[in-house]
């Protein structure tokens, strides 16, 4: 049966995930991508008219206030971006029968669980970023008639700001780097999230629906930030990227840090059994996604010219 071309809207166009979505979803149908200029999430009440003008049939929201520490002193703005605006979009989607995909975070949990978090575990955010994201999740899930909230962790991409890019930049100029080993999680590439989003949209368009609602979605495996940095620097060398002598990685003096007022969960691991079974997929190991990230850099910037401090 032929499918009707969707009218896709991506919000948060210029972020890590937004950029990956723009590339990956463009073959699916006519695509509009809004950045901050086209739709300011600090003004949720303006979104309804914009959506009614465009009339998208599929909406994918990658916009978020992701400045975790800044959210501690600007909770009202973080709430507008992470909760009020996405919830307003989900209400529009419900009223206009649009398919809606949104992304949530491991930071809704307090990290005290000894095993990976499932979709049924109770959130208990430690910081205002996590709190405002949770408020968004709850409001959206309440409105959601068709679509998903994908809860993910430790997102990275060659496009936008991310941990591996910071480590490579610092490694160019510093002989020693300080990296934590007290948090555990699964680095997840924006490309993997975008590919799974495309799959979910295709299934929806081809009338192969899955139960709507909340799904954990991350790469498989686990590491610490220190393990992540160690793997990254080792693999960057193997792939021939122009790094000087690998820096020595040091542990920080753990304790209160005035530059990082937001507490982070010690365990960020998400159990992805539900989505793997429902969409019949296997989540890739985080290391293979890091390798792809490095292969991309090898092609576009092997000398790491754009990584100077």
Q: Does 265 interact with ligand NAP (rule: CB under 6 A)?
A: no
Instruction: State the greatest distance between any 2 C-alpha atoms of the chain, in Å, as a whole number.
Output: 61
Q: Does 16 interact with ligand NAP (rule: CB under 6 A)?
A: yes
Shortest separation between residue 159's beta carbon and ligand NAP, angstroms: 9
Among 248, 226, 244, smallest CA distance to 236 is for 244
- The footprint of ligand NAP on residues 121-140 (CB under 6 A) is 133
Q: Give the 3-state secondary structure of residue 269.
A: coil
Q: Does 290 interact with ligand NAP (rule: CB under 6 A)?
A: no
Of residues 81 and 179, the one with the C-beta less far from ligand NAP: 81
Q: How many chain residues interact with ligand NAP (CB under 6 A)?
A: 27
Q: Does 17 interact with ligand NAP (rule: CB under 6 A)?
A: yes
Residue sitting closest to ligand NAP (CB): 15
Q: Residue-wise over 68-106: b if at least 16 C-beta within 10 A, else e?
A: bbbbbeebebbbbbbbbbbbbbbbbbbeeebbbbbbbbb
Q: Give the 3-state secondary structure of residue 274.
A: helix
Q: Give the 3-state secondary structure of residue 78.
A: helix
Among 263, 278, 135, smallest CA distance to 217 is for 278
Q: Which residues are catalytic?
A: 129
Exactly one of 18, 116, 158, 227 binds ligand NAP (CB under 6 A); which one?
A: 18
Angle ∠(294,187,215) on CA atoms, nearest 5: 130
Other beta carbons within 10 angstroms of residue 107's beta carbon come to 28
Shortest separation between residue 191's beta carbon and ligand NAP, angstroms: 12
Of 52-60, 63-71, 88-96, 109-117: span binding ligand NAP (CB under 6 A): 63-71
Backbone angles phi, psi at 295, to 5 degrees: -60, -40
Exactly one of 9, 10, 58, 62 binds ligand NAP (CB under 6 A); which one?
A: 62
Is 109 in contact with 124 (CB distance < 8 Å)? Answer: yes
Q: Does 147 interact with ligand NAP (rule: CB under 6 A)?
A: no
Shortest separation between residue 21's beta carbon and ligand NAP, angstroms: 9
Q: Does 261 interact with ligand NAP (rule: CB under 6 A)?
A: no
Exactly one of 5, 42, 73, 250 binds ligand NAP (CB under 6 A); which one?
A: 42
Of 39-47, 198-206, 241-249, 300-308: span binding ligand NAP (CB under 6 A): 39-47
Exactly one of 7, 26, 29, 36 binds ligand NAP (CB under 6 A); which one?
A: 36
Q: Does 160 interact with ligand NAP (rule: CB under 6 A)?
A: yes
Strand positions, DSSP E, 62-126? 99-105
Among 183, 189, 193, 191, smallest CA distance to 269 is for 183
Q: Does 262 interact with ligand NAP (rule: CB under 6 A)?
A: no
Q: Does 65 interact with ligand NAP (rule: CB under 6 A)?
A: yes
> Residue 222 burial (CB < 10 Å; 0-12/13-18/19+)?
middle
Q: Does 66 interact with ligand NAP (rule: CB under 6 A)?
A: yes
Contacts with ligand NAP by CB under 6 A lie at: 12, 14-18, 35-36, 39-42, 62-66, 81, 103, 105-106, 133, 152-155, 160
């Amino acid at each position: 049966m032929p499918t009707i071309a969707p009218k896709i809207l991506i919000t948060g166009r210029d972020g890590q995930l937004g950029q990956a979505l723009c590339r990956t979803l463009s073959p699916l149908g006519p695509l509009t991508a809004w950045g901050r200029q086209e739709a300011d999430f600090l003004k949720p009440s303006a979104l309804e008219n914009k959506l009614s003008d465009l009339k998208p049939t599929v909406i994918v929201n990658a916009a978020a206030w992701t400045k975790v520490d800044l959210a501690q002193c600007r909770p009202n703005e973080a709430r507008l971006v992470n909760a009020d605006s996405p919830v307003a979009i989900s209400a529009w989607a419900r009223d206009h029968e649009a398919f809606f995909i949104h992304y949530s975070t491991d930071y809704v949990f307090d990290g005290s669980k000894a095993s990976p978090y499932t979709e049924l575990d109770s959130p208990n955010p430690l910081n205002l970023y996590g709190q405002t994201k949770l408020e968004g999740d709850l409001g959206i899930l309440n409105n959601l008639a068709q679509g998903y909230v994908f809860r993910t962790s430790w997102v990275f991409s060659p496009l936008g700001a991310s941990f591996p890019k910071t480590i490579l930049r610092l490694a160019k100029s510093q002989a020693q780097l300080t990296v934590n080993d007290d948090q555990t999680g699964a680095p997840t590439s924006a490309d993997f999230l975008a590919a799974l989003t495309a799959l979910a949209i295709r299934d929806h368009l081809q009338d192969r629906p899955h139960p709507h609602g909340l799904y954990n979605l991350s790469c498989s495996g686990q590491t610490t930030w220190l393990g992540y940095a160690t793997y990254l620097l080792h693999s960057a060398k193997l792939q021939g990227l122009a790094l000087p002598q690998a820096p020595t990685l040091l542990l920080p003096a753990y304790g209160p840090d005035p530059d990082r007022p937001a507490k982070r969960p010690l365990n960020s691991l998400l159990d992805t059994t539900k989505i793997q079974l429902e969409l019949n997929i296997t989540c890739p190991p985080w290391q293979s996604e890091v390798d792809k990230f490095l292969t991309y850099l090898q092609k576009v910037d092997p000398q790491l010219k754009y990584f100077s401090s």
